[in-house]
Amino acid sequence: MRLLIFFLFVLITPLYAENKRIGIYVHDPISDTECAESLKSVLEKKYSITFIRHNTLNQKTLSKIDLLAFGGGLGDSDQFDTMLIDRKRVVKDYIANGGRYLGICMGAYFAGYHYFDIVRNAYVVRYVDLENSSIYREDETIAEIKWKDNLYKMYFFDGCAILGKNFQTFATYKNGDAMAIIQGKIGIIGCHPESLKDWYISEEMKPSGTKENITNYCLIL
């Protein structure tokens, strides 16, 4: 939890983290309700949280928040083109006018070229597709990550890695590729630092520091 809060703090800087307003997008299946609820349960301890639905993802709504968050979900570029493409310009204009963006898992993919296209010279790719990946299947599992100088085990479900050098890296996978980065007003995370205990379905998936880590990450944003 603390890692996510810390991450949000950095992303929102130089604004004061207190009294900041975060909008979490919810639109099943590409922005899953369960993921949004777990993200809210972490962030509401530090921020004012509102859920944003597809019909309220507009300039008027975004003018009232400091950060727009997209959590995990199920989808690909085809589903994005069907369910979210009509809001692409709204999101890009929001960021161009000073808004901040947090993407976790599917929300991290959304920052990439095939979706909102809001990061530059940074490539958001499937971690399991990399030749030197430490995870070889897309099913839910645990990823070993290094957050700054500390090692953690965090919930992973076909998350992304971020390739390139034009960003600040906060966490890496076991192979050294970036798992959590900030580029300007954009923060993206491949794993799920907001994951709840009941997401870990077996003893082998036992996390380390997950709830604490996500709170810290959010403070950075």
Residue type for 123, please?
A: Y
- The token pair at 29 is 């299946």
What is this structure's pTM? 0.88
How many domains, in total, are found in the chain?
1
Taking the CB of residue 204, how many other CB atoms lie within 10 A of it?
8
Residues of the domain holding 22: 2-220
Contact 23, 31 (CB under 8 A): no
Q: How far apart are CA 162 and CA 144, in angstroms?
A: 16
Cα 154 off chain centre by = 13
Q: How far apart are CA 129 and CA 5, in angstroms?
A: 29
Domain CATH code at residue 99: 3.40.50.880
What distances in angstroms separate CA 92 from CA 25, 133, 199, one per listed residue? 15, 31, 32
Query: Residue-wise pLDDT tens for the chain (221 aa)?
Result: 556 666 666 665 544 556 789 999 999 988 999 999 999 988 888 889 999 999 999 999 999 999 999 999 887 667 777 788 999 999 999 999 999 999 999 999 999 998 999 999 999 999 999 999 999 888 888 899 998 788 888 889 999 999 998 999 999 999 999 999 999 999 999 999 888 777 777 666 665 554 444 444 444 44
Under DSSP, the state recorded for 209 is S
Q: Of 126, 121, 131, nearest to 157 (Cα)?
A: 126
Q: How far apart are CA 122 and CA 157, in angstroms?
A: 21
Q: How far apart are CA 102 and CA 91, in angstroms?
A: 12
With a CB cutoff of 8 Å and minimum separation 6, the contacts of 56 are none
| pLDDT tens column, 74-119 | 876 677 777 889 999 999 999 999 999 999 999 999 999 989 999 9
3-state secondary structure 105-129: CHHHHCCCCCCCCCCCCEEEEEHHH
Taking the CB of residue 220, how many other CB atoms lie within 10 A of it?
23
User: Collapsing DSSP states into helix, strand and coil, what is residue 103?
Assistant: strand
Q: How far apart are CA 75 and CA 4, in angstroms?
A: 24
